[in-house]
Amino acid sequence: MTELLAEIACVGVDARRGGFSRHGFDHAELELREWFTAEATRRGLGVEGDRNGNLWAWWGEPGAGAVVTGSHLDSVPGGGAFDGPLGVVSALAAVDLLRARGFTPGKPLAIAVFAEEEGGRFGIACLGSRLLTGAIDPDTARRLSDSDGVSLAEAMRAAGLDPAGLGRDPDSLARIGTFVELHVEQGRGLVELGAPVGVASSILAHGRWRFSFVGEGNHAGATLLVDRRDPMLPAAQVVLAARRAAGRVEGARATIGRITPNPGGTNVIASTVDLWLDARAADDVRTRAVVAEIVAAAETAAAEEGCTVAVTEESYGDTVVFDPTLRDDLAGALGGVPALPTGAGHDAGILAGHVPTAMLFVRNPTGVSHAPAEFAEPADCAAGVVALADVLAHLAR
C-alpha cells in the first residue's frame, strides 16, 4: 500500500502551492485514472467507466447487491497525499490481501473512483456521486466552468468522455448493495481515542455559497476615498462576519478560502470581487442561521460602499447520519473500533441517502488535512487495509 502511494507521489505535484493539485479531468487526474486502470487490470479486475465520469473496477461479474469500496483521486488545490488516494490504494491493497487469504467473494465486489470529489476545478464537491444519484441537474453540471472558462462538458470531451450521458444513473446505483469508503481522518478524533481505525457516525450539514460584489473599477492613486465604490470592502466584512457568525453557533464552521478580485491589479480598485463561503454546522437550521447572518452582513456592507452583492448557493448537503445498524455491524466485525463524526464531506455522504453506506477512518497524527502536511503513519495505513479487507470479507461473505 505504501508502494502504491509512492507510485503516484510524482503526479500532480504543485511546486507553486506545495502539495498536490489534481482536479477533475485535468492532466494529473487523468494520469491517476490511467494508473488506477492499469493497477486494477493487473489484478484481473474489469474496469469500466460510467456515464458520469466515475470508474468501477469489478472483481467478478458486475451485478446487483455488490459490495463497493473506493474514494477519489482528485485533490483540493495544494492538497495532501492521503485525502482520496488513501481510500483507492487501500482498496487495491485490500483486494490483494483478500486474495492472499484465499477469500472468494460471495457477492460482486467493486472499487469505485468518483470524479471531482473536492470540486477543486468545477466548484461543486462530490460532482461524480451527485451526478450518479441525481443530486445535480445534468445541464447545470455540463455548464459548470473552471477558472479558465473550460466547461465540464468540454473537459470531459477533451478526456475522451461523452458529457451527453451525464445524469442520474439508476443502473449503476442499483448495483451497489453496500458502499464503504476508507478515508484519512480529517481531525484528531482517533488520536484522542488512541485507535488507528474507526468508523464514521455522521457528517455535518454543509454547503458552498458564492458572493458576487459589484463596485466600480478605478485608479488606486487618483480616486479619493469618498469617491470609491470598492467591492473589496464588503468582501473583507464578509470574511470577518463568517468568523463572527460561526462563533455564535456551537460546533459551526465558516470559511472564506477563495476570493477573486477582478481585474486583480495592485494599483487598481477592483470592479468586482467574487468570494466563496464554505459553511458547516450540526444541522440544517444551524447552518442556515450562520449563512443568513453572513448574507445580512454582506448586504449591509455592500450598501454602505455603494456596491451590490448577489449570493448564490452553489451546493448544499444536509447532515448525514450513517446507517447505525451497518456502522455497529462493521465496528463489531473490527473488534469494537470507535465511531466518530466528521466535519468533512465525502462521496459516501452523497451515497448514504440511496444505499447502505459506511466509512472507515485512519488515524491522522496532527489532524491536518486539505494541506501538504496531511499524514497517516504507514502502520496505521496498514491497519486500515486490514480493517477494509475484514469489512469487505464480512459484507461479501
The distance of closest approach from Cβ of residue 76 to Mn ion in the complex, given in angstroms and rounded to an integer, is 6
Q: Which is nearer to ligand GLV, 71 or 237 (CB)?
A: 71
Q: Scanning residues 100 to 139, which ones bind ligand GLV (CB under 6 A)? A: 118, 125
Whichever of 117 and 146 has its CB closer to ligand GLV, that residue is 117
Nearer to ligand GLV, 237 or 315 (CB): 315
The amino acid occupying position 303 is A
CA distance 70 to 68: 7
Q: Cβ contacts of residue 275 below 8 Å, gap of 6+?
A: 210, 211, 213, 235, 238, 239, 256, 258, 259, 260
181 binds ligand GLV (CB under 6 A): no
Q: Which residues pair with 313 in a beta bridge?
A: 209
Binding-site partner at residue 125 among ligand GLV, Mn ion, none, CB < 5 to 8 Å by type: ligand GLV
The site partner of 84 among ligand GLV, Mn ion, none (C-beta below 5 to 8 Å per kind) is: Mn ion
Q: Interface residues for ligand GLV in 329-368 (CB under 6 A)?
A: 344-345
Residue 83 near Mn ion by CB under 5 A: yes
- The answer to the question of residue 317 lying near Mn ion (CB under 5 A) is no
Give the nearest distance from C-beta 125 to Mn ion in angstroms. Answer: 8
Residue 236: alpha-carbon gap to chain centroid: 26
Query: Which residue is nearest to Mn ion, using beta carbons?
Result: 83
How many residues at the interface with ligand GLV, by CB under 6 A? 4
Stretch that binds Mn ion, among 76-84, 160-168, 229-237, 270-278 (CB under 5 A): 76-84
When the beta carbons of 123 and 231 are compared against ligand GLV, the nearer one is 123
Query: Looking at beta carbons only, is 206 or 228 nearer to ligand GLV?
Result: 206
Q: Which residues of 81-90 are buried (b: 16+ CB within 10 A; e: fewer)?
A: bbbbbbbbbb
What count of Cα atoms within 13 Å lies in the side-chain half-sphere of residue 316? 13
The alpha carbons of the chain give a radius of gyration, in whole angstroms, of 22
The interface region with Mn ion, picked from 82-90, 146-154, 163-171, 312-320 by CB under 5 A, is 82-90
Binding residue for Mn ion (CB under 5 A) from 84, 207, 215, 261? Answer: 84
Residues engaged in binding Mn ion (CB under 5 A) = 83-84
Residues engaged in binding ligand GLV (CB under 6 A) = 118, 125, 344-345
